A and B are shown apart, each in its own frame.
Chain A
């Protein structure tokens, strides 16, 4: 996290951490594993009261960031969530809130933002299809018919898609993209719920069979959503990177502590140079992951012309680094590291999931070279 947090942001961070430690310790996350949606709606509402859902909405829409840098504020929550492998639709709900606040009609905002902001409803963002995460691969079609829009197609890997009240669907209209806000229980919508490697993060497949909605359900202009989708993807990747940084941060903490307590051959394992050197490399990777994620968040807030590249640099770096880093900690823990009992697998699960969702490092790297003009 940013090393220059002003006092109000520091306070927000500490509050977020205390809330998670009190109301969502890792034992609780394990319990949620056995529930249908992996999250307690009442808990989510309390999280919303702490400001988790208002950072990325404009003040006129009932939101407001702490510092005037909404993404850098949201990154604080994402990192803390990572530290506790927390539950809840933080990423998708905030992506949809930011999209609605930036491009939704007055009517659409009025209908949906209050519930999303107070946490009584949640949202999902449906970008990927079976082909993958690239917006260019979207095949789901949004057809404009008079003052209605008709959706047909199938979206895959929709985070929190089975529990969400509304889904922001990325579809194609001619050469351009269209985003349509669809109530999940709307006629013609079929939900196939699914699980993931993560204990509490659920995904769904959503089918849209001639789903007919008023034209006002379109966020922005039909066929004109390419820029908005890219910005939302940048936001989502940055929040995801921040969450993975939080995972690394906490795993490093408990592994480091364990190394001081664990004795082998009459001395703490932290005294062996072979292990000290690996820990030194891990500190380098941890600080680098923090630095590049903060830089991505800053680039988004400052509308840096290079933001598309900087976000993918963070996503590529953190995506790969987090999983290797956590497996390295498994090694340092020894046998206990590969047990159900030890918490580290919850972190490895989340990091491994993050590596593959929203595009993998391999895809981000390809985007990076394209943006370098190669």
Chain B
């Protein structure tokens, strides 16, 4: 593997021209990363860490992060170019949460000490972060978290439970939203903390998804977890702002824009050279439906959706860059994905026929294992429309924040959290 220009030189003489950058990315990727084959199976966390280290050492990790935190000191436009070029390569997709959601949030709100300690490690894939936001009592109403953090001398002591955390088996740190003041309205009494998952007080339990496969999300019980005062991210009782930033980066990363551009390589492949529906075409071929006019219409529909999703993603990125679009436009793209994914699942069932749900034992049909089968993935096809804020929450955001339509009537922004809580218990 050859190493090309490092991050430092890239920005030494002003910001590098994007087209010059593109050529540099192209040469680097060709020399350093394995090419992707849509049928070659997902990237494991172990492979992701290797790939991320290759990117970091080549100066292409955290492209829009300042060089002093291990980034390349360039812009999101460069990240977009990188993503376009990376479409044909195996990318460290499992690290997208850590690198493209948590790292940017830490960059926005972390103390100097947290940033200089953790960001270079995160960007190299040596340290993995995740989000400890959702709780058993609710995920959409994130400001309603019950986990408490209480100050005790020089420390914070955290107690509570978190759930649905993706990748807790691999992670080192969680960004944990906790209540630090229950006597003010719910948004005003929250703070964000960096929680080391190796702490004795953190117990992690796997949750088996409906596909019956290896667990990829988890539940955490936080029992007297003591944290140094410096683990507070952002200001005390300003955790909602940090959480909003995290959600913002999450939606962008999920939609494959912003810092995460390139990490969801399939999104770029759809519009570039690949069909974005190779798996569906395989299903149709196996079922012998490629000549069926209805199946052909459906395959085209899925392809159109894949390409248009990329095109509207590019449009939103352009709008954000030129200032034509301000605010939570990632929500619009996230909504699009949440609508497309289940529909794509339905199309697979239609073109795949009975063979998609019944198979011979040991058949050499390209599936790596059962959870890789379309119909098994179909069981969790609603993941994208739920995780990272449900479709309904994105629709709330789009209508209220992008379009300025009236908010739902509620007093939850004015009533002290303690009172909201008593209503909850009274109702149950």
Contacts and interface: CB of A to CB of B under 8 A. Distances in A.
Interface of A: 3-4, 256, 259-260, 267-268, 270-271, 273, 276-277, 279-281, 283-284, 287-288, 290-292, 294-295, 310, 313, 316-317, 362, 364-366, 368-369, 372, 374
10 smallest beta-carbon distances between A and B, as pairs: A365-B300, A276-B399, A280-B398, A271-B406, A291-B315, A280-B395, A291-B311, A277-B395, A291-B312, A368-B300
B395 A281 contact: yes
B304 A276 contact: no
Contact of B332 (A259, A283, A290): A283
B36 to A, nearest CB: 18
B399 A369 contact: no
Contacts of B315: 3, 287, 290-291, 294
Interface in B342-372: none
Given A3-B319, A280-B394, A374-B290, A291 B296 contact: no
Given A281-B395, A313-B307, 7 more contacts: A276-B395, A277-B392, A277-B399, A280-B396, A291-B308, A316-B304, A317-B308
Contact of B296 (A276, A280, A287, A366): A366
B415 to A, nearest CB: 21
Contacts of B392: 277
B172 to A, nearest CB: 37
Contacts of A313: 303-304, 307-308
Given A288-B312, A374-B299, A3 B399 contact: no
Contacts of B312: 284, 287-288, 291-292
B50 interface: no
A366 B300 contact: yes
Contacts of A280: 332, 335, 394-396, 398-399, 403
Interface in B274-301: 275, 277, 281, 284, 290, 293, 296-297, 299-301
Contact of B284 (A310, A364, A366, A374): A374
A362 B307 CA distance: 17
Nearest to B284: A374
B108 interface: no
B62 interface: no
- Determine which residue in B312, B318, B332, B336 has the highest number of CB atoms from chain A within 10 A of its CB, and name it: B312
B269 to A, nearest CB: 13
Interface SS of chain A: helix
Interface of B: 275, 277, 281, 284, 290, 293, 296-297, 299-301, 303-304, 307-309, 311-312, 314-316, 318-319, 322, 324-325, 332, 335-336, 339, 392, 394-396, 398-400, 402-403, 405-406, 408-409
Contacts of A365: 296-297, 300-301, 304
Nearest to A259: B405
Contact of A4 (B318, B396, B405): B318
Nearest to B273: A306
A257 to B, nearest CB: 12
A215 B1 CA distance: 63
Contacts of B277: 372
Nearest to A364: B300
Contact of A283 (B303, B304, B319, B402): B402
A348 to B, nearest CB: 22
Contact of A368 (B304, B322, B406): B304
Contacts of A290: 315
Nearest to A306: B273
Contact of A284 (B290, B322, B398): B398
A327 to B, nearest CB: 18
